[in-house]
Structure 1
Amino acid sequence: MTPSMARSLSTFLSILLLLSLPLPSTQDLAADKSALLSLRSAVGGRTFLWNTEQTTPCNWTGVACDADRVTALRLPGFALSGNIPEGIFGNLTNLRTLSLRLNALTGTLPLDLGACSDLRRLYLQGNRFSGEIPPFLFGLSNLVRLDLGENEFTGEISSGFKNLTRLKTLYLENNKLSGSLLDLGLGLGLDQFNVSNNSLNGSIPKSLQKFDSDSFLGTSLCGKPLGACSDEGTVPSQPISVGNIPGKRKSKLSGGAIAGIVIVCVVGFLLIVLVLMVLFRRKGDERTRAIDVETIKQLEIEVPGEKTAVEANEPSTAAVNSSGARKLVFFGNATKVFELEDLLRASAEVLGKGTFGTAYKAVLDAATLVAVKRLKDVTMADREFKEKIEVVGAMDHENLVPLRAHYCSGDEKLLVYDFMPMGSLSALLHGERLV
């Protein structure tokens, strides 16, 4: 064999060897699929509906891919439970969106989540995660939306949040955080912020004073937009008494002057009451009444022949109690669950009327507000309605208000959403009064 033939043969064998190797994207997608299967085995829930016989996980519910890599994992209200073990997110390194909200996940956040350096949106609210907020989160410099609300996180709010310079949303409400609220240097960039219902104290930094008082309720914080701090060093000024000025005689009011002042005060009070009564009467048509309890109760009687047990293969169905009354159906295992009776007894206010029904703002207690959509003229079977509404409940997007629960019985159909205090789209576009 001549040297030229040997070189040609060597080149041919090298090319053949390269062609026989699997493509890098195939290897990466296979690793992503293996990581998702490990997550499925650890937390269960509706992930068992995934068709594992498919070669690619990109067609599974809640999974989105780009360039043969898993880039989004959205599993809101999937009945996930338990701890997330280490070694799962270390393979999902191309994740840009991770939503595990409204489940029953517990324990601390896995450390390998810090390997997802491209992560932009992280939604973990409505679970039972505990421990301190892990420092590795502050290394995810591409984060834009971070929601850790309604969990059991403890400890102080770290100054490491200053590293998240692109952050626009930071929700930490309804946890067990303590200590003071540091100047995180995020005030100019943040457009959504909430630390309410935590054991925080001290003054609110100036960079965060632009947010409404709702962002700080249920804490011991002070300063704008809440009440002034008692340690601000301000001394109330003392009025100077005329009798203390030399050469001035302390004057006294006569009985007639005192009587005149009293009469003026009484007349003024009566005028104020009269004006308030007129204003309330004018707005009586705009104010809401409570949702018609009796009408709904007429439809709560159990339909003969209807199933009274939750089928094992259906992720969410209406529960029926011993008296035959049906209950609200919740998506996921949110920490705050209320009954239908609580919703019916709540004070309500009309938010608006549309083609398919009326929207109400229901006040369950001092800290729980929900929006209720009462549908009308929706002519479809209960089973078809439940199937369609489960698809809506599984949707997860930063610009969509999550569907929290629904009720379906005969002609009565209710949709329950988390109340968003920013008003309607029409109000934001046209500058109308926020609700």
Structure 2
Amino acid sequence: MAPGLRFPPAFALVQLAFALLAVLPRHVAPDLAGDRDALLALRTAVGKHLKWDPSVSPCQGWQGVSCSPAPGQRVVEVRLVAKSLSGQIPVGTVGNLTALQTLSLRFNAISGPIPADIGSCAELRWLYLKGNRFDAGIPESLFLLALLKKADLSENRLTGGVSSEFNRLGNLATLNLEGNDLNGALPSGLDLPKLTQFNVSYNGQIDGPVPASLAGLPPSAFLGTALCGGPLAACPSSEGKKRRKLTFGAIIGIIIAALVALIIVLTICVLVCFSRRRRATAGRSTEAAADVHEGMEPITVTVAMTDRNAVKRSHSPPARRRGPTTWRRLVALGALRHDNLPGLRAYFYSREEKLLVFDFVGAGSLSSLLHGGGAERLDFTTRARIALAAARGVAFIHGGGPKASHGSIKASNVVVSGARDGAYVADYGLAQLVGTAELPKRGTGYRAPEVTDARAVSQKADVYSFGVVVLELLTGRAPTHALPDGGAGGSGVDLARWVRSVVQEEWTSEVFDSVIGNEPRVEEEMMRLLQLGMECTEQHPDRRPTMAEVEARIERIVEDASRRADFSSTDGSRSVSA
């Protein structure tokens, strides 16, 4: 080759570099403008109602967005808790927020997979995705987040197994995978040295032994799974699973036992049929007697009013229309007597109309006192006493047996006394008595998530409803309007979820009603009652306390609050006299 055609190696490298630059796509250095574009793309995908002004910087008042200090500002926090977000998060939105340290999208309706490019958020420390509809598996890119400290992926629809790749997250202190559809065994070599909080409860397909590194955790971390060992029951041994051949004598014994059991069952069936026939005969005699009385004078029912007595006359309906079950329920309701339950005086029952007549009590419902046009300024101690009175009434109902429940606890059914020092729980047993053709919307906020039939409300569901009333007393918010931007018809997040999200974001002071928020000396009691309300509104029924326990805890709170108030009054008078 001619000397003039030779190129120095350095010149060849420069030419190669220019060639690569010509064919590779251009990349803009990460900056605030790129963060702005990523957030606007996120809004387009899941939150078109978010009031972000594209003409200004995200650091200038975009709701839920926080930035690092200038110069070199970047978006470091995105907190969009309970903002009615819905839809799927596409790749190229969250993943482009490369300086992000906190991402909180709790309690929305975001669906689809967790973005596959979330691993690009290399600075991410806190990831909160609880209470959405994320599905598919946990993306592999999540295990690239070496700085991640807390990951809450609970109450979604995630599938697949719990990967041993979590071991790559050496800084992880909290991992919450509760309430998903995860399956398989937990990795035996799972080792997260900084882990202090872990929960895989209510993933019914997770099975096998609890890893040794998690054996010191409480059983509540593994509820609703098929796990064993560690803090749970011991795993079955392999020897117990060995099959043994049955001898001829054992087979004969099993056959004889089965024949004896069959004879016993048939005998019981005959006795039950005979007993039912006797009751049916007696029932027909009762109906005949009722038909005779139907033509007699109408029953006079007196209803106590605030100013005078009013009389309503009606014919008593025949027993065959009411049925024995309904009759027993009316008798059971009438037998309930308690200082915090209005007494049942009479009833009217027909196909067109069903009425229960109670004693007139109180000066108005708790709902009207808290949210009515002339809402009163109830201090904390008064609110706690109202909660205690209502708790005593509900606890008394629950004392009637494991199936005894109120069925419709809400603020409009809590009637406050005229002196504001007590309350009555009204309409007890009404849902079970008259039934309902259609369930009220969940937007009302009182109904426990597991309730599917208004005529079969459990005691744990009553506890949930009572917990909502407690939160309503503390926040001053009606459950149907828990969020100012919740949308028409109560389409936003209900009160219990809103309170939980605010507390978890460590903005607890934002929870309390402004009337009591700055009330002196009772801060501790307010926090204790708030904690109790949150325990009552746990999503899983077995985590809720009993009403007897609720009553006892509120009683102690009232006693402590009253003692502080008395001490303050006495101390103040001494100061004045001095």
TM-score of the pair, normalised by structure 1: 0.56
Q: Which amino acid aligns with 2:195?
A: L
Of the candidates 195, 202, 206, which is equivalent to residue 200 of structure 2?
195
Instruction: Give the secondary-structure state (helix, strand or coil) at the position aligned to 1:155.
Output: coil
Counterpart-to-counterpart distance in 1, 2:145 and 2:54:
31
| 2:317 corresponds to 1:220 | no
Query: What is the Cα deviation at residue 403 of structure 1?
Result: 11
Equivalent in the alignment of 2:164: 159
Of the candidates 93, 100, 109, which is equivalent to residue 98 of structure 2?
93
Per-residue deviation, residues 143-167 of structure 1 (Å, max 9, x unmatched): 1110111122211111000111111
Of the candidates 72, 83, 107, which is equivalent to residue 78 of structure 1?
83
Equivalent in the alignment of 1:29: 32
Per-residue deviation, residues 172-206 of structure 1 (Å, max 9, x unmatched): 12212111111354465222111112201111112
Counterpart-to-counterpart distance in 2, 1:208 and 1:123:
22
Query: What is the Cα deviation at residue 395 of structure 1?
Result: 3.7
Counterpart-to-counterpart distance in 2, 1:146 and 1:62:
19
Aligned residue pairs: how many?
302
Q: Is the deviation greater in 133-142 or in 395-404?
A: 395-404
Aligned residues of 2:464 and 2:544 also touching (Cα < 8 A): no
| 2:376 corresponds to 1:373 | no
Aligned residues of 1:393 and 1:402 also touching (Cα < 8 A): no
Aligned residues of 1:81 and 1:105 also touching (Cα < 8 A): yes
Aligned residues of 2:95 and 2:120 also touching (Cα < 8 A): yes
Counterpart-to-counterpart distance in 2, 1:377 and 1:82:
33
| 2:463 corresponds to 1:362 | yes
Equivalent in the alignment of 1:231: 237
Distance 1:346 1:38, change over 3 A: same
Counterpart-to-counterpart distance in 1, 2:197 and 2:440:
39
Matches within 5 A, 1:43-62: 43-44=46-47, 46-47=49-50, 49-62=51-64
Matches within 5 A, 1:256-335: 288=395, 293=408, 296-298=411-413, 328=443
Instruction: Give the secondary-structure state (helix, strand or coil) at the position aligned to 1:117.
Output: coil
Q: Is the deviation greater in 28-37 or in 340-349?
A: 340-349
Counterpart-to-counterpart distance in 2, 1:379 and 1:372:
10
Distance 1:224 1:84, change over 3 A: same
Per-residue deviation, residues 76-114 of structure 1 (Å, max 9, x unmatched): 111111111111123211111101121111111222211
Equivalent in the alignment of 1:143: 148
Distance 1:400 1:146, change over 3 A: farther
Distance 1:322 1:180, change over 3 A: closer
Query: What is the Cα deviation at residue 35 of structure 1?
Result: 0.8
Instruction: Give the secondary-structure state (helix, strand or coil) at the position aligned to 1:146.
Output: strand
Instruction: Give the secondary-structure state (helix, strand or coil) at the position aligned to 1:71.
Output: strand
Instruction: Give the secondary-structure state (helix, strand or coil) at the position aligned to 1:227.
Output: coil
Equivalent in the alignment of 1:40: 43
Instruction: Give the secondary-structure state (helix, strand or coil) at the position aligned to 1:176.
Output: coil
Distance 1:172 1:385, change over 3 A: closer
| 2:308 corresponds to 1:207 | no
Per-residue deviation, residues 377-398 of structure 1 (Å, max 9, x unmatched): 9889999986498996774745
Distance 1:338 1:179, change over 3 A: closer
Counterpart-to-counterpart distance in 2, 1:75 and 1:26:
26
Aligned residues of 2:464 and 2:538 also touching (Cα < 8 A): no
| 2:173 corresponds to 1:168 | yes
Q: Which amino acid aligns with 2:169?
A: L
Distance 1:392 1:362, change over 3 A: closer
Say which structure is richer in helix: 2
Equivalent in the alignment of 1:105: 110
Counterpart-to-counterpart distance in 1, 2:215 and 2:90:
39
Q: Which runs of 5+ in 1 are unaligned?
A: 1-24, 236-283, 301-320, 331-335, 350-360, 407-413, 428-435
Counterpart-to-counterpart distance in 2, 1:392 and 1:107:
26
Say which structure is richer in strand: 1
Distance 1:57 1:341, change over 3 A: farther
Equivalent in the alignment of 1:264: none
TM-score of the pair, normalised by structure 2: 0.44
Aligned residues of 2:451 and 2:457 also touching (Cα < 8 A): no
Q: Which amino acid aligns with 1:373?
A: V
Aligned residues of 1:65 and 1:71 also touching (Cα < 8 A): yes
Q: Which amino acid aligns with 2:218?
A: D
Counterpart-to-counterpart distance in 2, 1:382 and 1:186:
42
Query: What is the Cα deviation at residue 43 of structure 1?
Result: 0.7
Q: Which runs of 5+ in 2 are unaligned?
A: 1-27, 242-390, 399-404, 416-435, 486-494, 514-529, 546-552, 554-578
Distance 1:133 1:375, change over 3 A: closer
Aligned alpha-carbon RMSD (Å): 4.8
Distance 1:347 1:92, change over 3 A: same
Distance 1:400 1:82, change over 3 A: same
Equivalent in the alignment of 1:12: none
Structure showing greater radius of gyration is 2
Q: Which amino acid aligns with 2:134?
A: F
Per-residue deviation, residues 130-151 of structure 1 (Å, max 9, x unmatched): 1121111111011111011112
Counterpart-to-counterpart distance in 2, 1:187 and 1:151:
23
Q: Which amino acid aligns with 1:362?
A: V
Q: What's the % identity of the aligned pairs?
A: 35
Aligned residues of 1:62 and 1:75 also touching (Cα < 8 A): yes
Aligned residues of 1:146 and 1:170 also touching (Cα < 8 A): yes
